[in-house]
Amino acid sequence: MSVTDKPTGSLRHRLYQGETNFRFISLWRRWFLISGVVILIGILSLVFQGLNFGIDFEGGTSWEVTAPGVSVEATRDALGPTGQGDAQVQILGGRRLLVEAAPTGPEEQAKVTAALAKLAKTSASNVAIKSVGPSWGGEVTSKAQRALVFFFLAIALYISLRFEWKMAVAALAAVVHDILVTVGVYSLSGFEVTPATVIAFLTILGFSLYDTIVVFDKVDENTKGLAASGRLTYADTVNLSMNQVLMRSLNTSLVAILPILSVLVIGAGVLGAATLKDFGLALLIGLLTGAYSSIYVAAPVLALLKEREPRYRAIRQRLDARGGVGRGAVLTPAAAMAASGGMDGAGLGAEVPAGEARAPKAPTPPRPRQQSNRGAPRPRKRGRRR
């Protein structure tokens, strides 16, 4: 992230006060490049390496048993006589043994069960067995795909009605970004894809929309005040909104990630529950990319879309021509708040006059950006758009 103003306090302090001044929007090329590269790598990996589907997709049998202190090698040796010596063996949380193999007949299955029970020094009834037909995973996938299509339609409709269709497009662009990145991460890392993974991930899409909508709600509020007044371009309004809700976004992401980390570290890592691992991993990746995309994908896409509207293009031209304070500087939220003071009566109307209220805080006044030459690429960009 790039900071244009000299810090007036520690970053932590400014974050806390909502006085950061990150250029989320104007550097959109950079963010899109980063996302594009990540997605491209993911797609290449997908093409050449594919995904590591679990037995639920390929069909097969798995056994799970609590066996503290048993090694992978010992398990392989024990499985050798059953003809499953090359089955996939995993140890979860140091105590749970997970064996996965191609589909087996009932007799072979019983043999493996007996061998594992003996290895774990327990009875066969303590061995969990799962067997999956080859078409099951396919059905989960097709159901998930259908769910995804309806999800897109419903969300597009909802955001269009609640806000506007351009926000729906931007939000869905972020969701598509999340899907591509997650699929890429799964392909690159070779993490196993199970139905739990798919569903957990789908659920997290709704959850990552939460962040996007928090940002958009703020943009919506600000455009009614600042942008409508013609003092700020739409892009700058979005940028301002982003800075205003940054701490909110960070906090919501953090409190969402904490329990998931706990699922992953405590539930899967220490206590060794395989399902928790599948869930936790998909949720973590989905949340991280969701947090990123709501800031670096959804918001810039929205700004780019809206800047094409004649109304906001006119504001930009006028502000560019004036070339003054209002245009050049990306306002700090606090300053913008003050600037908007009088007109945004509904949300921000002040009992204490805005100026007075800020005075004791000695806030940073709006000031021109120092490296004004860095604005140079912008006219070019706009020229192309016209």
Partner 1 sequence: MRRPLVTSLVGILVIAVLSVVYTQVVGNKPLLGLDLQGGVSVVLKPVKKVDSGVLNQSISIIRSRVDALGVAEPDISRQGDAIVVQLPGVKDPERALRIVGTTAELRFRPVLNVLPASDNPATTTTAAPTTTTTAPSTTTTTSKVPTPVPTTTTTTTAPPGGTATTPREQDQPEKTVILPETKAGNVVRRYQLGPAELTGRVLKTARAQFDANNGAWAVNFELNGEGAKKFDELAAKYVGRQVAIVLDSEVKSAPTINTANFQGSGQITGDFTEKEAKELALVLRFGALPVQLQAENSEQVSASLGSDSLRAGLGAGLVGLALVVLYMILYYRALGLVVLLGLALSGALMWSIVSFLSANNGLALSLAGATGIIVSVGVTVDSYVVYFERLKDEIRAGKTIRSSVDRGFARAYRTILAADAASFIGAALLYLLTVGAVRGFAFFLGLSTVLDVVVAYFFTRPMVVLLGRNRAFTEAKWLGVARGLAATSEGGRA
At which residue do the structure tokens 């997605």 appear?
A: 39
Angstrom CA distances, 240 to 19, 123, 222, stand at: 10, 64, 9
Cβ proximity of 39 and 181 under 8 Å: yes
Helix (H, G, I), strand (E, B) or coil at 367: coil
Q: Could you tell me the smallest distance in angstroms from the CB atom of residue 236 to partner 1?
A: 18
What one-letter code names the amino acid at 224? K
Return d(Cα 365, Cα 344) in angstroms, integer.
19
Question: At its nearest, how many Å lie between partner 1 and the CB of residue 249?
Answer: 9
Residue 160 sits in the site that holds partner 1 (CB under 8 A): no
Answer yes or no whether residue 107 interacts with partner 1 by CB under 8 A. no
Instruction: Show the binding pattern over residues 111-140: x = contacts partner 1 (CB under 8 A), - = does not.
Output: -----------x--xxxxxxxxx-xx--xx
Q: How far is the CB of 46 from partner 1 (least distance, A)?
A: 23
* Alpha helix segments (H runs only) across 49-190: 55-58, 72-79, 106-119, 134-162, 165-189
- Nearer of residues 218 and 316 to partner 1, judged by Cβ: 218
CB of 201 vs partner 1, minimal distance in Å: 10
Q: Which member of 102, 151, 188, 229 binds partner 1 (CB under 8 A)?
A: 151
Give the residue ranges of DSSP H helices in the chain: 11-17, 28-48, 55-58, 72-79, 106-119, 134-162, 165-189, 195-222, 228-229, 234-262, 274-293, 299-307, 310-322, 325-328, 333-340, 345-348, 354-358, 377-385
Report if residue 358 touches partner 1, rule: CB under 8 A.
yes
Choose which of 172, 185, 193, 276 interacts with partner 1 (CB under 8 A).
Answer: 276
- Contact partners, residue 102, CB within 8 Å, separation at least 6: 58, 59, 60, 61
Site for partner 1 in 248-267 (CB under 8 A): 248, 251-252, 254-263, 266-267
- Residue 281 interacting with partner 1 (CB under 8 A): no
Q: How far is the CB of 8 from partner 1 (least distance, A)?
A: 14
Residue 24 as a binder of partner 1 (CB under 8 A): the answer is: no
Least distance in angstroms from the C-beta of 265 to partner 1:
8
Using CB under 8 A, count the residues that bind partner 1.
Answer: 92
Residues in contact with partner 1, shown as a per-residue x/- string from 297 to 336 under the rule CB under 8 A:
-------------------------------------x--
Q: Are 133 and 59 in contact (CB under 8 A)?
A: yes
Answer yes or no whether residue 141 interacts with partner 1 by CB under 8 A. no
Q: Which of 27, 214, 325, 343 binds partner 1 (CB under 8 A)?
A: 214
Of 174, 203, 184, whose CA–CA distance to 279 is shortest? 203
Q: Return phi, psi of residue 285, to 5°.
A: -65, -45
205 binds partner 1 (CB under 8 A): yes
Contact pick of 114, 202, 228, 325 for partner 1 (by CB under 8 A): 202
- Contacting residues for 106 by C-beta, under 8 A, at least 6 apart: none
Tell me how far, at minimum, the Cβ of 276 lies from partner 1, in Å.
Answer: 6
